[in-house]
Amino acid sequence: MGMNTTTRVSVCMASYNGSRFIVDQLRSILDELEVEDEVIVVDDASSDDTVSLVEGIEDDRVRLIRGAQNVGYVRAFERAMEAARGDVIFLADQDDVWVSGRRAVLLGALDDADLAASNLRLLHSGDPLPSPITRRPWMLSASSSARWTWNRLRILLGIAPYYGCAMAMTRSFSDLARPFPRFLTESHDLWLAILANTQHSVRHVETATLLRRIHDSNSSPSRPRGVAPALRSRIMLIRAVLEARRRVRAHPAM
């Protein structure tokens, strides 16, 4: 799929009690987008003033969908992706900051892949994201883009730095990924990465296209979890690998 400046982008965001940072994030996103692009914010029944802040942004490109009850960020992202009207879907968290040039970099990576995943840096220091296990720089390399089996194994081992907030995908890939598996209660980004590697259509972007804000309410843990949660997560990801194989075999042309 050839990407150019006429490609319409849909940015999909799930929000929940994000009033501290969501306005800054939306401004950084809107500064990157073209006139025909859109931002879809699915609010997951926030109890703070997130909704009123989003409504107060005077930009016709922002579409707010209010959830009647809290269903979790995985389902909120899924709903945003379902509502997207663009040729390409970008994912965005409510609390980060986009780097200038992000749109062009990720569109370029999608010229020969269905999912692009970039690196990120920490907002306040500019340092690379640290591994939750070793605390060393945790980065994707372009040379490993086609190491599909190894990438899936790294996901299962919890050592692959795939983050949804640093991803973009083609519409056809989004259609393949949805509906998200019903057993998926977390890590929608790892589901997308597993599916793209199963489909042999992923591109790692070494450029950092995002400044990640670390705070006490991040959905993604910054340090290892306990044994029981980690085991449940691994079982869920193994099921995701099996489901990805089933979908790719059922839709080989996508």
Beta strands in the chain (DSSP E): 9-15, 38-43, 62-66, 88-92, 97-98, 115-122, 167-170, 202-212
CATH C-level class of 9-250? alpha beta
Q: What is the pLDDT of residue 226?
A: 74
pLDDT reported for residue 230: 84
Q: Exposed e or buried b for every residue in 142-162, given b needs 16+ CB within 10 A?
A: eeebeebeebbebbbebebbb
Task: Give the model's pLDDT for residue 13.
Answer: 98
What residues does each domain of the chain span? Answer: 9-250
Q: What is the mean pLDDT of each run of 10 residues along the chain (254 residues)?
A: 78 97 98 98 98 97 97 98 98 97 98 97 94 92 98 95 98 98 97 98 98 75 68 95 97 76
Give 210's strand partners. 98
